[in-house]
Structure 1
Amino acid sequence: MYKTTTPLNKLSFVLFLVLGACASQKKERIVSVDQQEVHRIISTLADDRLKGRAVFTPEIEEAATFIEGEFKKAGLQPLKANENDFLQRFQATQIKPSLCEILLDGKELDSDAGFVLSDQAGLNWNTDPEVRILSISASDNFRKKYKEISQQDINAIVCVDESFVKEFNYLKQHADNGRILLNTDQKKKGSLVFVLSKEQPKSFRINYTGTVENKGLANVVGVLPGRSKPNEFVIFSGHYDHIGILKPIDRDSIANGADDDASGVTAVISLANIFAKQKDNERTLIFAAFTAEESGGYGSQYFSKQLNPDHVVAMINIEMIGKDAKFGANSMYLTGFEKSDLGKILQRNVKGTGFSFYPDPYPEQNLFYRSDNATLAALGVPAHTVSTVQIDKDNYYHTVKDELETLDIKNIVSSINAVALGARSIIAGKETPTRLEPLKN
């Protein structure tokens, strides 16, 4: 458990000395993160009171209000001069299943053995030859095969091998919470019905109805205007939504999302405080807490459309920094490290502190395009995610066990300090990361 009397860790002290040496040359005060403040912020966001910060709940609105208050205290400004607050509001359509009956070869599946992914309000299939029967077998790479299938605009029943029950249940949880579409999105005509079964059915009947509602979402965005290069943006971001209420385990049903991603949002707020006090940013700094990342990255998608990507110099997205990385303490990894030189710049700026930035050790997980950096990265922005989570073996990920008590506050502190130091030459306008190759539509 964290104790407020714990002194700053060794890295924080080393960073303080390094930054202090720079300060003596530039005659300015260098600020590092306050450990007690880190604990206060993350404990608020991960508190049971917020019930896992699921989208479209009063609790996520409470979380947004808290983050907005922190941005105000830091001295940030709204993204646009004519805005009165820090909430970047937008509308989305939610399609939530109200009826889902799946019969294969005359036998109705249990409710936990099937789900529907559809942009349509209803389906009524009865052994239609135009409905394809596909499989994700035990020998397949589940994530790759799922992506291939879901990107097609087809009607299909997808039989998933029971060995992928964990992945299946994760997708079903999202489907049950409701499919979200930005109101600017073009709806897919095709629908997918996923069933947990090795055998492909010879006959089927699908009866599905979805309740359609138009609802509001909001990112929380604050700005520190640049002194000499105000039209060049550096973004620090994390997502403040999580997955809400799950099936109880030992009477606990709240998926608190302490590491995912209260730790990242805590870092964003802390960085806002650091840079606001230093007041030496030549480029404009944007601090963003995104909504609906867990539902498909809709918050960052909307945010990205409000900016000219040519004006964004770099984006550092922060995701799950509450535990030691695979490389040990005082280290982080950067997704898509090889795609630009942002990681090399960060590493060069922390040289001598004992901290290191590494390439992503989990390329098979495709993390670069699974977080909120993805939309701007696809447009050519050097947008990357920094993280410490050992994603291949973190048993608390997307469970009710992701609580404050499982995190190392000192790891969060050292990571925040390292990002602050690593990014200084970029925010000072002295270095500009190389651009990415934009993805073709």
Structure 2
Amino acid sequence: MRFSLISAALVIASIGACAPMDEPSTPTAEPSSPTGPASADPDISLDTLKTVTEQLSSDAFEGRAPGTPGEEKTVALLAERFEAAGLQPGNKGSWFQDVPLVEVSLEGDPDLTFTGGKQPLSFDHKEDMVAVSYRFTPETEVKNSDVVFVGYGINAPERGWNDYAGLDVKGKTVIILVNDPDYQTTGLEGPFEGRAMTYYGRWTYKYEEAARQGAAAAFIVHETEPAAYGWNVVRSSWTGPQLYTDAENNNMDETLVNGWLTNEAAQQLMTSAGKDLATLTAAAKQKGFKAVPLGVKASISFDNKIERQASRNVIGILPGSERPDEYVIYTAHWDHLGICEPVDGDNICNGALDNATGTAGLVALAEAHAKAGPADRSLVFLAVTAEESGLLGSAYYGANPVYPLSQTVGGINMDGLNVAGNTRDVVVIGGGKSELENYLKRALDQRGIILKPEPTPEAGYYYRSDHFSLAKYGVPMLYAEGGDDLVNGGIAAGRAAAEDYRANRYHAPADEYDPNWNWSGAIRDLELYYQIGRELAETEEWPNWYEDAEFRAIRDKSRAGAE
């Protein structure tokens, strides 16, 4: 997620340094614009936005953590509001899609050791490293595992890049660098889109690829700039109970251990192995890099407490009148952190902006579309669970879609709405990826709104909210936000409002409903989302990813199988 007025919750990843603004790359062939007249601005209900946001973020909902009484109240309210809006239950007569979750908690602190180098090393949990197991087993042990430095841990055949080429890492421990090899590029040109992060740069991908390669353990080297957050974020996120979606095989196809090393710990490891981290990093940035066995062995063990629970996505649908088996989707996550660390005696993280506002926007859009009547295609409204735990609800929907993803035209995600006032600008997160941006540009041009490039593309915010869970299955998904240039106050006021939220309310009990919020920007943005969704639902076009987007091949294969 990216921090701005419309989605101040993006601050979780905004700690890293900012890059100069670069113009997003444009495709060589401009896709056709949507046909037909522009949709009239809908009547977005301000009362709905205020009422639903205030209800969801009240203390009675206890911060909306999955698996709690707060969830029960949340999903019941959403089903009630969807029905009142005029939607139909979206899952075979039910408003809900069950999402099976597993909570895994470390019992005791693991100790990571390396032997066989110039000196034995022992790294402390939290201070030097963090480690978890994605497998649902009570005991985890990796013993005397050969250690290999695999650079950025990327296998991208379409880009001619494979850090695992000629390498067998089955049963071994791999050390991986965060981000892409060209993240320090000033522009957006390079083997991995230059300064802009691709999915290959995300830590989630690196663990996935290590598992595919058969590694026993995978540790990512933390560095603040390419990670876009400090070690404090890694430590706080990886040392408490971890939620995962349940799996019949107990995730036994995952690595035994996934974790992070501080940069200092990684340097000590390389020194003990007779290597230099800076030299290895420089080599890893070059195409044709060969993985480097370090000649040391890793050992780690810990116990896990396994608890299974269930949560729910909430789904409503407005069936299409002409092509009801083709779908346009809106998404927002309903969950937040629940009971959290007290501040001044308040221990409820209410999550008013993050993401009661986005969920209220989902309800308001449902009302507006239902009031306008059915479109040619069906419109789906999906409120997902467990975003704060790693996009789990949307990931479950992506793996278990209620409506075929090959028949899902595209969609829009909302993760926090702008409650600071209207802006002169809009930013597309992950700009230059899909033809959905043509629909947005058309809507912006009609209103005289400026489209600005994403200021920190190296942080990879496109991969940090629920739209990504569908994008990785090929569905074109748009994630746009109001910018920082407030109509009343300009850029200085916009940045001040964003900084105030970051410093005082983000992921804290103070993220509470404020009756003095200025909803004009939220309404303007929802009008944009309405127009884009309505045009997608009325056209016969199937917008695709641009040719160089990492999801294009997946979409082409999906659509070929549907035709």
Decide: shared fold, TM above 0.5. Answer: yes
Instruction: State the structure with bigger RCO (CA 8 A, min sep 6), 1 or 2.
Output: 2
- Is the Cα contact below 8 Å between 1:96 and 1:178 reproduced in 2? yes
- After superposition, the Cα gap between the structure-2 partners of 1:136 and 1:374, relative to the gap in structure 1 and judged at 3 Å, is closer
1:123 aligns with 2:123: no
Aligned counterpart, 2:73 = 62
- After superposition, the Cα gap between the structure-2 partners of 1:70 and 1:133, relative to the gap in structure 1 and judged at 3 Å, is same
How big is the shift at 1:31? 4.3
- Taking the TM superposition and a 5 Å limit, the aligned residue runs for 1:337-416 are 337-356=431-450, 358-388=452-482, 395=502, 396-405=505-514, 408-416=518-526
Aligned counterpart, 1:180 = 244
The whole-number CA distance in structure 2 between the counterparts of 1:239 and 1:145 is 21
The whole-number CA distance in structure 1 between the counterparts of 2:390 and 2:176 is 23
The whole-number CA distance in structure 2 between the counterparts of 1:158 and 1:366 is 16
1:168 aligns with 2:168: no
The whole-number CA distance in structure 2 between the counterparts of 1:148 and 1:240 is 25
How big is the shift at 1:209? 1.3
The whole-number CA distance in structure 1 between the counterparts of 2:539 and 2:299 is 63
The whole-number CA distance in structure 2 between the counterparts of 1:282 and 1:110 is 55
- Taking the TM superposition and a 5 Å limit, the aligned residue runs for 1:17-416 are 31-80=42-91, 82-83=92-93, 85-102=94-111, 109=124, 114-120=129-135, 121=137, 122-124=139-141, 129=146, 132=173, 134=175, 144=201, 146-147=203-204, 149-151=206-208, 152-153=210-211, 154=215, 155-156=217-218, 160=222, 167-175=230-238, 176-183=240-247, 186-187=251-252, 188-196=254-262, 198-199=264-265, 200=268, 206-304=300-398, 305-306=400-401, 307-323=403-419, 329-356=423-450, 358-388=452-482, 395=502, 396-405=505-514, 408-416=518-526
- After superposition, the Cα gap between the structure-2 partners of 1:344 and 1:111, relative to the gap in structure 1 and judged at 3 Å, is closer
How big is the shift at 1:95? 1.8
Spell out, residue by residue over 1:351-392, the C-alpha distance to the aligned partner (whole angstroms, 9 max, x if none).
443445555443222222222122322333221222337799
How big is the shift at 1:114? 4.6
Q: What letter is aligned with 1:225?
A: P
Q: What letter is aligned with 2:523?
A: V
1:39 alignment partner, SS class: helix
Q: TM-score, normalised by structure 2?
A: 0.63
- Is the Cα contact below 8 Å between 1:89 and 1:217 reproduced in 2? yes
How big is the shift at 1:235? 0.6
The whole-number CA distance in structure 1 between the counterparts of 2:222 and 2:80 is 45
The whole-number CA distance in structure 2 between the counterparts of 1:159 and 1:379 is 28
- After superposition, the Cα gap between the structure-2 partners of 1:92 and 1:183, relative to the gap in structure 1 and judged at 3 Å, is farther
**Given the alignment, which residue of 427, 430, 441 partners 2:539?**
430
How big is the shift at 1:403? 3.0
- Is the Cα contact below 8 Å between 1:235 and 1:287 reproduced in 2? yes
How big is the shift at 1:171? 3.5
1:414 alignment partner, SS class: helix
How big is the shift at 1:280? 4.2
Q: TM-score, normalised by structure 1?
A: 0.79
* Higher mean displacement: 108-117 or 374-383: 108-117
Ranges in structure 1 where 5+ consecutive residues have no aligned partner: 1-24
How big is the shift at 1:330? 5.0
Spell out, residue by residue over 1:48-91, the C-alpha distance to the aligned partner (whole angstroms, 9 max, x if none).
332322222221222111111111111111124x42x3011132
Aligned counterpart, 2:294 = none
- Is the Cα contact below 8 Å between 1:94 and 1:214 reproduced in 2? yes
Spell out, residue by residue over 1:294-316, the C-alpha distance to the aligned partner (whole angstroms, 9 max, x if none).
22222112223323222111211
Spell out, residue by residue over 1:194-219, the C-alpha distance to the aligned partner (whole angstroms, 9 max, x if none).
35561336798744211112221210
The whole-number CA distance in structure 2 between the counterparts of 1:332 and 1:324 is 14
Q: What letter is aligned with 1:362?
A: T
1:53 alignment partner, SS class: coil
- Is the Cα contact below 8 Å between 1:162 and 1:197 reproduced in 2? no
The whole-number CA distance in structure 2 between the counterparts of 1:355 and 1:159 is 41
Aligned length: 411
The whole-number CA distance in structure 1 between the counterparts of 2:259 and 2:430 is 32
* Higher mean displacement: 429-438 or 271-280: 429-438
The whole-number CA distance in structure 1 between the counterparts of 2:470 and 2:228 is 33
- Is the Cα contact below 8 Å between 1:162 and 1:196 reproduced in 2? no
1:92 alignment partner, SS class: strand
- Is the Cα contact below 8 Å between 1:324 and 1:411 reproduced in 2? yes
Q: What letter is aligned with 2:507?
A: H
Spell out, residue by residue over 1:24-51, the C-alpha distance to the aligned partner (whole angstroms, 9 max, x if none).
x99x997411212211111112223323
